[in-house]
Amino acid sequence: MASTTTTTTNNNNETPDAPLAPEQLLFSSTDSETLSKNILMVGAGGIGCELIKTLALTGFRNISIIDLDTIDISNLNRQFLFRKKHVGMSKSQVAKESVEKFAGSKQTGINIEAYTGNIKEERFGLDFFKKFDIVLNGLDNLEARRHVNRLCLSANVPLVESGTTGYKGQVTVHLRGKYCSCFECAPKPVPKSFPICTLRDTPSTFVHTIVFATDLLFPRLFGANKEDPSDLDEEEARDAFTRKENEAGTAFAKRVFAYVFEKKIKDLLEREDMWANRDKKPEALDSETLLKTKEERTATTGYGDAHKKWTMEEASEIFVRSAGKLFEKGDRISEFDKDDDDAVAFVTATAQLRCANYGIEYMSRFDAKGVAGNIVHAVATTNAIISGLIVIEALKILNAQKHLDEKEEGEGKNDRLIKLANSRYTFVGNFNAGRQLLQPLAPDEQNPKCVVCANARAELCCDISKTTLADVISKVLKKKLNTNEPTVLKGDDMLHEEGEDLDDDEVENYAIIGKRTLQDLGLESGGILCVDDNSQELKFDLVVVHQNLEEFDEDAFPEGFELRGETPKVAEGAEKEKDEDGAATDGEASDEIEIVEEGVEITKAVESPRLGKTKAIASSPSPASKKRKTK
Query: Which one, 340 or 444, has the nearer CB to Zn ion?
Result: 444
State whether residue 426 is helix, strand or coil: strand
Which residue, 40 or 451, has its beta carbon nearer to Zn ion? 451
Would the annotation count 355 as a binding residue?
no
User: Residue 534 to residues 144, 152, 154, 506: CA-CA distances in angstroms?
Assistant: 16, 14, 11, 18
> Which run of H or of E encompasses 428?
strand 425-428
Q: Tell the smallest beta-carbon distance from residue 539 to Zn ion (Å).
A: 14
Question: Which residue number, 385 or 450, has a Cβ lying nearer to Zn ion?
Answer: 450
Question: Can you tell me the distance from the alpha carbon of 23 to that of 187, in angstroms, rounded to the nearest whole number?
Answer: 35
**CA dist., res. 605 & res. 32, Å (int):** 40
210 is annotated as contributing to ligand binding = no
Nearer to Zn ion by Cβ, of 154 and 547: the residue is: 154
Which amino acid is it at 214?
T
200 is in an annotated binding site: no
d(CA 39, CA 306): 54
Q: How far is the CB of 450 from Zn ion (least distance, A)?
A: 3
- Burial of residue 224, with CB atoms counted within 10 A of its CB: 0-12 exposed, 13-18 middle, 19 or more buried: exposed
- Backbone φ and ψ for 98, nearest 5 degrees, come out as -65, -40
Count of residues engaged in binding Zn ion, rule: CB under 5 A:
5
Q: Is 512 annotated as a binding residue?
A: no
Residues 414, 176 contacting (CB under 8 angstroms): yes
624 marked among binding-site residues: no
If 0-12 CB within 10 Å is exposed, 13-18 middle and 19+ buried, where does residue 79 land?
buried
- Reference 51, options 378, 376, 380; nearest CA is 380
Report DSSP state, residue 26. T
176's CB contacts (< 8 A; 6+ apart) are 153, 156, 182, 411, 414, 446, 453
CB 42, min distance to Zn ion, A: 19
Scanning residues 442 to 501, which ones bind Zn ion (CB under 5 A)? 450, 452-453
- Distance CA(436)–CA(422), nearest Å, equals 20
The DSSP output letter for 160 is E
Per CB under 5 A, does 160 bind Zn ion?
no
Task: Choose between 20 and 451: whose C-beta lies nearer to Zn ion.
Answer: 451
Per residue in 589-619, is it b (16+ CB within 10 Å) or e — as a string?
A: bbbbbbbbbeeeebbebbbbbbeeebeebbe
Distance CA(8)–CA(18), nearest Å, equals 9
Q: Check the annotation: does 491 bind a ligand.
A: no
Is the CB of residue 580 less than 8 Å from the CB of residue 204? yes
Q: For the CB of residue 569, give the shortest distance to Zn ion in the complex, in Å.
A: 13
The answer to whether the annotation marks 246 as part of a ligand binding site is no
Does the annotation place 43 within a ligand binding site? yes
Binders of Zn ion among residues 504 to 563 (CB under 5 A) are none
Residues noted as catalytic: 197
- Residue with Cβ nearer Zn ion (450 or 523): 450
Provide the strand spans (E) within 261-309. none
* Distance in Å, CB of 455 to Zn ion, minimum: 10
Nearer to Zn ion, 415 or 594 (CB): 415
From 541, 540, 560, 544, select the one nearest 552 (Cα to Cα). Answer: 560
Q: CB of 484: closest distance to Zn ion in angstroms? A: 18
Q: Does 185 bind Zn ion (CB under 5 A)?
A: yes
Q: From the centroid of its chain, how far is CA 17?
A: 35
| Residue 201 CB, nearest approach to Zn ion (Å) | 40
141 annotated as a binding-site residue: yes
Range list of H helices, 422-568: 469-471, 504-514
Nearest alpha carbon to residue 159 among 179, 176, 178, 142: 176
Report whether 152 belongs to an annotated binding site: no
Give one DSSP letter per residue of 44-91, joined into a string: -SHHHHHHHHHHHHHT--EEEEEE--B--GGGTTT-TT--GGGTTSBH
Binding positions for Zn ion, 413-452, rule CB under 5 A = 450, 452
Question: Interface residues for Zn ion in 165-184 (CB under 5 A)?
Answer: 182
Question: Helices 365-372 and 341-358 meet at what angle, rounded to 10?
Answer: 100
Residue 77 annotated as lining a ligand binding site? yes
Q: Residues at the annotated binding site for Zn(2+)?
A: 182, 185, 450, 453
Q: Residues at the annotated binding site for ATP?
A: 43-48, 67, 75-78, 91, 140-145
Residues that bind Zn ion (CB under 5 A): 182, 185, 450, 452-453
Q: Residues at the annotated binding site?
A: 43-48, 67, 75-78, 91, 140-145, 182, 185, 450, 453
